[in-house]
A and B are shown apart, each in its own frame.
Chain A
Amino acid sequence: MADRVVAETPQPAKPPPGSLLAAWDRVAPATVPFFAVFTALLIGAGIIRFAGASPLVAYRALWEGSFGTPAALANTLVKSTPYIIAGLAVALGFKAGLFNIGAEGQLYAGGVLAVLVGFHPAFAGLPPLLHVPLAVLAGALGGMIWGAIPGILKARTGAHEVINTIMMNFIAIRLTDWLIKSKDPLILLDPSASTPRTPYIAPSAALPRLLDTPLHAGLVLALVLVLGVRWLLYRTTVGFELRTVGANPNAARYAGMNVSRTIVLAMALSGALAGMAGAGEVLGGQGYLSPDFFAGIGFDSIAVALLARSSPVGMIPAGILWGALLNGAGLMQIRADLSIDLIKIVQALIIMFVAADQIVRWLYRIRVAPPTEEAVFSRGWGR
């Protein structure tokens, strides 16, 4: 049996109690994500320099483009919405000890069903009060199915969810591509469109706008889901089971919990959340679905979940940061003549420093916090 030695990380010497340093020690652990973002931006500045632009100009444009004006702020919030919801999806998996890399595919699965309910003549004429929830639920159902399959495979055969969710991503993307592009049979394609896309959804299925801004009800949905997931995880017996399976599956079995069922449930719920994120984008944004509609939102939601340290409420600032970086990137590209892909590097660096928080702790001399209920994913590939 391999060793499970409790980590004894190298620590700076303990400062005397009452000193400023001691006060820092108490506050510091919570600041790790901030330092991670800061360090990533710092390295990003280096890359900007290297690419021959001015970091100051670039970052200023980034700020103005994301928070500088009310319109920019509204757009940032709109961009953040799917990250908040899909981040919740990934976090829910994390809590149950499951690494759901499949949010991307679940977004597509949800998007497809949502857009179908949105434009299909069978649902035409429904009042918005019915049509909108129906379309959102259809999205949840699509994501749920797409998430539950790897869950069932894991529970039944022990196949690791990481590879299976990745495969489900590829399958979902190819299938969506076919559903939208196929002319014979004609399935989701709008033949009148110049680029392949689905028909527009009925107005009755569109998420209502808020206050005559680009903001739509998807943001409200995100906030409700944040509170809902928090309640589920920490106030209900189902959440207790989920977290126990994540923290110690052996103890969960010993305590009479049905581990297989919990794994399937967690993957299904996680998928449903991601599916709703997809539905929200389709119903609140353009109103149609195209083959590369979600372009990486699902992958980035992993980063958002890591940044929020799987805390449901933490998903709000983490998601907004993500939305802001993307939203501001456009202005940065114009003013500093930099590819928006630079933002992807900065984002990758952020999660690198968040995930490997020991680097940040080491850089900024932050004491190690007592370990929390963190699930371990790397238990090997099978069983």
Chain B
Amino acid sequence: MWPTVRLQRLHVYALLFLVAGMWLTVGVSARFPAEETTTLTFGIGRTAPKVALPVGRTLLAVGVYYVVSGLLGLAGRRFVRPATWAMIFGGLLIFPTVLVAAAAGKQTNVLTMLNESLRLGTPIALGAIAGIWCERSGVINIAIEGMMLAGACFGFTTFFFLGERLPANQALFISVLVAVITGGLMALLHGVLSITFRTDQIVSGTVINILAIGVTSFVRREYLLSTRAGRVTLPSIEIPLLSDLPVVGPVLFNNKPIFYSMFLLVIVTHVVLFYTRWGLRTRAVGEHPRAADTVGIDVIRVRYINVFISGLIAGLGGAWFSLETVGGFDDLMTNGKGFIALAAMIFGKWTPLGGLGGAMLFGFSEALGTRFQILGIPLPSQFLQIVPYVVTMVVLAGLVGRAIPPAAIGQPYEKQS
């Protein structure tokens, strides 16, 4: 049944591309005067490289590309693969295209845009990595949001009390540590509920989310209301030499510590998951726990440790909000990023690199929203805030093909006696 469905799905997308492409070529591109250009700059200052794109002709080119890939998709079975790739690339093309159209007649800095996407994608990527650790071992984690929120809150609370007694950097470091550990402790609760007491994992996750909301708003009202002025955040660290590299230097190597650790964690997770003993065991436990049990692997232990690590990473993601970005704590400040992270994880098919890609997609769509405001596009801010949520739903609906979760996900493991 599968391929027929998939073929039909491809046809639907192909038609969409065809329509969008024709709309772009015939309807939209002509609306821009021929001489109007968008200047994309790469960097700040006069010496920064610039590219001036004629808006109308750029849109025309994209439109033609869409029409071609749409036709490819309708061309028949032999073109399924190239058509799929053409459309995936076409999907990514939406972002720069929208940027070019939106900034018509103006300048916009591509590097800032990229940097913003990466920065805004950081908590999402951390959440996705957290999800991967947990779910690869067969435990669903919809509590990433709650773990992040708790991490953000307790991390900042720590800084709130330590800030005056210790040098700022020391206090911040300890606070991040506390955030990480808070996430881990919340995760252990998830473990106790869902692994030991075998509560439904989604119910358990929901409980933790609600608990996190209650505890953090209580702590905020009781202890943090008199928030002092002067919001302190983690300092930027310029990595010597690397930050001087053209183009990538300022984008990647002049940032804050949690941003860097996110990339590190993506790589570490990838290596651990696919090249080490622990990763092999984790995957086995997530796919077929009984098989793992029969070769002497302690399924419960593996799951507990993975869930705990997941919480630690989510806690770090929480610290991104309160300690790296805002320098304060607000109720519900994670704003659904934990759930979007889950979507990024699914988008990336439970792989760290894929999860990073998904997170960047969401980060980009968010950055685009801010950019729109800067460019003065007359769109209500609420609409732009909605974009990531809609993208999440579209992604889940299978734009990128079927995502197959670890087989044993959601099922508590029962050792027989």
Q: Direct contact between A and B in the complex (CB less than 8 angstroms)?
A: yes
Residues of A within 8 A of B (CB): 1-5, 7-8, 51, 99, 101, 153, 156-160, 162-164, 166-168, 170-171, 174-175, 177-178, 182, 296, 299-300, 302-303, 306, 338-342, 344-349, 351-352, 355-356, 358-359, 362, 376-383
Q: Are B336 and A2 in contact (CB under 8 A)?
A: no
**B382:A175 contact, CB within 8 angstroms:** yes
In the complex, identify which listed stretch (B166-174, B234-242, B321-329, B409-417) lies at the interface while the others stay far away: B409-417
Question: By the criterion CB–CB under 8 Å, are A379 and B410 in contact?
Answer: yes
Which DSSP category, helix, strand, loop or mixed, fits chain B's interface? Answer: helix
A359–B210 Cα distance when bound, in Å, is 18
A367 CA to B383 CA, complexed, in Å: 52
**Contacting residues, chain B, for A8 (C-beta < 8 A):** 414, 416-417
Chain B interface size band reads 35 or more
Inter-chain contact A359/B336, CB cutoff 8 Å = no
Complex CA distance for A331 and B211, rounded to whole angstroms: 23
Question: Once the chains bind, are A352 and B193 in contact (CB under 8 Å)?
Answer: yes
Q: Give the complex CA separation of A208 and B220 in angstroms.
A: 39
Q: Is B200 engaged at the interface, CB distance under 8 Å to the other chain?
A: yes
Q: Which residue on B lies nearest to A167, using beta carbons?
A: B389
Assembled-state Cα–Cα distance A292/B407 (Å): 40
Q: Which 5 A-B pairs have the closest CB atoms?
A: A378-B410, A344-B214, A339-B221, A348-B211, A341-B218
Knowing A159-B398, A162-B202, A378-B200 are in contact, say whether A347-B210 is a contact too (CB < 8 A).
Answer: yes
The reply to whether B211 and A352 form a contact with Cβ atoms under 8 Å apart is: yes
**Is the beta-carbon distance between A355 and B207 smaller than 8 angstroms?**
yes
Chain B residues with CB under 8 A of A352: 193, 207, 211
Once A170-B389, A359-B197 are accepted as A-B contacts, the answer to whether A348 and B207 lie under 8 Å apart by CB is yes
A163: chain B residues within 8 A (beta carbon): 142, 339, 342-343, 346, 392-393, 396
**Beyond A1-B407, A177-B382: 16 further Cβ-contacts under 8 Å?**
A2-B288, A5-B416, A7-B412, A7-B414, A157-B398, A159-B396, A167-B339, A168-B393, A339-B217, A339-B218, A352-B193, A356-B197, A359-B193, A376-B200, A381-B346, A381-B405
17 A-B Cβ contacts within 8 A?
A1-B407, A2-B407, A3-B411, A157-B396, A160-B396, A163-B396, A164-B396, A178-B383, A302-B206, A302-B210, A341-B214, A341-B221, A344-B218, A345-B211, A345-B214, A381-B409, A382-B405
Render B195-219 as a binary contact track against A, CB cut-off 8 A, 1 for contact.
0011111111011001101110110
How long is the Cα–Cα vector from A167 to B339 in the complex, in angstroms?
8
CB pair B403 A381 closer than 8 Å: yes
Contact B211 A380 (CB under 8 A): no
Residues of B within 8 A of A349 (CB): 211
Check if B289 is an interface residue, CB within 8 A of chain A: yes
With a cutoff of 8 Å between Cβ atoms, the chain B residues found around residue A164 in the complex are: 393, 396
Q: State whether A358 and B197 are in contact (beta carbons under 8 Å apart), knowing that A167-B389, A174-B385, A377-B203 are contacts in the complex.
A: yes
A374 → B minimal CB distance (Å): 8
